[in-house]
Amino acid sequence: MRRPRLNARGARAAGLLLGYGADRLLGDPRRFHPVAGFGRVAAALERRLYADAHARGAAHTALLVGAAAGLGAVLERAAARRPAARVAVTALATWTVLGGRSLEREADAVHALLAAGDLLAARRRLRSLVGRDTSALDSAQVARAVVESVAENTSDAVVAPLVWGALAGAPGLLAYRAANTLDAMVGHRGVRYARFGWASARLDDVLNVPGARLAGAWAAAAAPGRARAALRAWRRDAGAHPSPNAGVVEASFAGALGIRLGGTNRYGDRTEHRPVMGEGRQAAPADIGRATALARRVGLGAVCTAAAVAAMVPGRR
């Protein structure tokens, strides 16, 4: 009796689960990370294309994101006739683009330094997680920055890529990570990238819409004792955040943890006054571990959701 062959939908779901497991077990590769290689290619293309113009930035974004999606499509097509290869392609792409385990390691490292009383080292280590000026932060402000980064990056580096992997397989995974990387490179505010980075920033905003909402929903679901508080903070506070997506997850995490996020951030010579997310006491160093535990539950819920969606999305058998 012949065993049933794993179809494309089943292979995609299995690959997402395996890739998520690999990220939880291994984290990012220490050397030769594909995303770092993509960054070098993007920087080289920027040197050739750069001009203070929206059109040049849009071309830069389209070429790089299109190439990433095309690579994913080629890999999927090459593996189309072999179920095990289809699973492996999706798993490898998923592991490549997820960053949940490495995010947790960085947050835990800052927490350990705070617990040891080494505020100066904690400020320095925090620079790997946030773009704000960390030089004058006290321990509560460091803790707030870590929790905000864990919340936002759980959406950006875990939930959102899983959403696009479920909907579009390896092309969706690689294209999403390309867009997200470009946003980090050229999408931020500043004179040089005000026009050139506009397309990358807007594309990243659009691609993160479903992931941020799924992350917010799972933050509430993963904290059943505070689910109402998480949803209330989302509804009340998220819209005041300058980001249409970060506000959702920061507010949901704040409500789920029973703390207050937001406040004044310094970025060099620029100061931003972020709206308050949540209510109650300010974040403390002990909340870092609570935030990473919540992020793990959110990630687990998201990968189960993504696998279920992948198994239902029509595709090549």
Residue 97 near residue 173 (C-beta atoms within 8 A): yes
Cβ–Cβ under 8 Å, residues 214 and 220:
no
Full DSSP string of 14-56? HHHHHHHHHHHHH-S-SSS-HHHHHHHHHHHHHHHH--SSHHH
Alpha helix segments (H runs only) across 50-138: 54-78, 83-97, 100-115, 119-126
| pLDDT by 10s per residue, the chain, length 317 | 455 567 888 999 999 999 999 999 998 877 778 888 999 999 999 999 999 999 999 999 999 999 999 999 999 999 988 999 999 999 999 999 999 999 999 999 999 999 999 999 999 999 999 988 899 999 999 999 999 999 999 999 999 999 999 999 999 999 999 999 999 999 876 789 999 999 999 999 999 999 999 999 999 999 989 999 999 999 999 999 999 999 999 999 999 999 999 988 888 778 888 899 999 899 999 999 999 999 999 999 999 999 999 998 765 54
pTM score, two decimals?
0.93
Residue 148, pLDDT score = 97
Q: What is the pLDDT of residue 9?
A: 85
Contact 258, 199 (CB under 8 A): no
